[in-house]
Amino acid sequence: MTSPATPQDRRQAPEAGLLSFYESPIPIRPATLGDAIASEWTKLRSVRATVWTLGVMVTLMLTLGVGTALLLAANDANLAGEPALALGFFGVLLGSICVITLGVLTIGSEYSTGMIRTTLTACPSRARVLAAKAIVFFSLTFVITTVTAAVVAVLQTLILSGTVAASASAWALSTVGVGLYIAGLGLLSLGIGAIVRHSAGAITIMIGVVLLPLVLALFMFADALRGLQRFLIEYSIPNQLSALYGTTMTGSGPSAWEPLLVMLGLVAVALGGAVALLNRRDV
């Protein structure tokens, strides 16, 4: 017959267990950029905001682009000498608001839910996390925007048979160029979202960036402000976007691929500032 364990014996058992070293069967290795990209892709494709924003953008581009061409064809509009590709501008301009929203939510939603702490715990490098988000977001929006713009351009050309055939460079600008510009605008929104850390505030700032220069220019009636008015119109985002379609409001300013260089500079400044602030903050 064995004697019952004394209270002192029961205290010693867990203390002895704590001294033993636990080895996880799961191999441990540092997180790489590939791991961060895989994680960000899983997050981006699994949230409903991605489907809604990009779905609305595609719907707007198709509806406005094809609808405008059908309306002009039904009214026998005289478009002799005009390329049909420029009609895709209206859908892309409205669709850019959807990309801005998704760009901000790509990082802003993590701050609102607190998920950003888990993300930075799994991958402590702030620059790597932001780079992974930028790569995944840019790739997705570029592909979807470019494919949709190409479909709209082909349908417009088929519907409006009396228009001038566009050159190869015009096709490249209105499809690949537009895709790069809209994806860059989304990256700019992502950078502002990382800086502000508030989704509603960042979206409001980005809508102001898109619309405010053009609105301010419309109310500059003094002759002394003509130079500033022209500058605001030429470098406003709607005017640069229309330049990719070969039509601008002033007939001057950035043309051809130059709007992409302007957008690249803005994106570099925004993402550089975001990385600098992320490295100085806790989250």
The pLDDT of residue 191: 95
For residues 180 and 217, give the distance between their C-alpha atoms in angstroms, rounded to a whole number: 26
**pLDDT, tens digit only, all 283 positions of the chain:** 445 445 444 444 445 555 566 777 777 777 788 989 999 999 999 989 999 999 999 999 999 988 988 888 887 777 666 677 888 898 999 999 999 999 999 999 999 898 899 988 888 899 999 999 999 999 999 999 999 999 999 998 888 876 777 788 889 999 999 999 999 999 999 999 999 999 999 999 999 999 999 899 888 888 888 888 889 999 999 999 999 988 887 777 888 899 999 999 999 999 999 999 999 988 7
Report which of 152, 139, 151 is spatially closest to residue 184, judged by C-alpha positions: 139
What pLDDT does residue 81 have? 65
pLDDT at residue 2 in the model? 47
pLDDT of 19: 54
CB crowding 131-144: b at 16 or more within 10 Å, else e: bbbbbbbbebbbeb
Residue 79 carries which DSSP code? Answer: -
Give the pair of three-digit tokens for residue 38.
Answer: 């895989």
Instruction: Round to whole Å and give the CA distance between 283 and 192.
Output: 15
Rounded to 5 degrees, φ, ψ at 271 are: -70, -35
Please state the pTM of the whole predicted model: 0.86
Residue 11's pLDDT is 47
**Any long-range contacts for 42-48 (C-beta under 8 Å, 24+ apart)?**
44/106, 44/136, 44/137, 44/140, 47/105, 47/109
